[in-house]
Amino acid sequence: MSDRIFGVFGLLLAIGYTFAALAIEESFLSDAVGPKAFPIIIAVILGLSSLAIVLRPDPEPHWPPLARLAEIAAAIVVMILYAQLLPVVGFVIATAVASGYLAWRLGSSLIATVLTGVGTSIGIYVIFHLIFGLALARGPFGF
């Protein structure tokens, strides 16, 4: 039963995503495909996947224990906080903390957690900001 509920939720999400994609206004300077194509493709894939879950659910879905669900919820909270704090503390600091936390929850030691957080943050900053020239959120220290 829980698979079908999840599948119906996915179908509703795909429908809402399709309506949002169709509401995108096209500029006269857009390419031949237009800005609506990619979101509609994502909505179709989500809808077909959700329909498959509704039509062929698992007979006995295995739910993780409550402690594991709490860890998943904590990771979701960290990602929401990451999005909220990104413009405040900047890309480098927010990414270091978020990726460090996620590495720690995946079982890394304290030193590996810090190195993963800092390395991921600096590595992405170098590639996307310094090499590709993309603008990333600046924090109080200017990076």
- pLDDT score at 9: 95
Q: Is 62 left (phi over 0), alpha (psi -120 to 50) or beta?
A: beta
Q: DSSP class of residue 35?
A: T
* pLDDT reported for residue 30: 65
pLDDT tens digits for range 8-28: 999 999 999 999 989 988 777
Instruction: Read off the pLDDT of residues 101-129 as tens digits, 9 standing for 90 and up.
Output: 999 999 999 999 999 999 999 999 999 99
Q: In the block, which residue shows the tokens 């599948």?
A: 7
Q: Distance between CA 76 and CA 9 in Å, rounded?
A: 18
What residue has token string 């829980």? 2
Question: For position 76, what pLDDT does the model report?
Answer: 96
The pLDDT of residue 95 is: 97
Q: In this model, does residue 4 exceed pLDDT 70?
A: yes
- Model-level pTM? 0.64
37-55 vs 2-22: helix axis angle to the nearest 10? 160
- Residues 35-86: tens digit of each pLDDT: 788 899 999 999 999 999 999 988 877 888 999 999 999 999 999 999 999 9
Please name which of 13, 21, 20, 17 lies closest in space to residue 50, comparing C-alpha atoms: 13
Q: Degrees (nearest 5) of the Cα angle 126, 121, 114?
A: 135
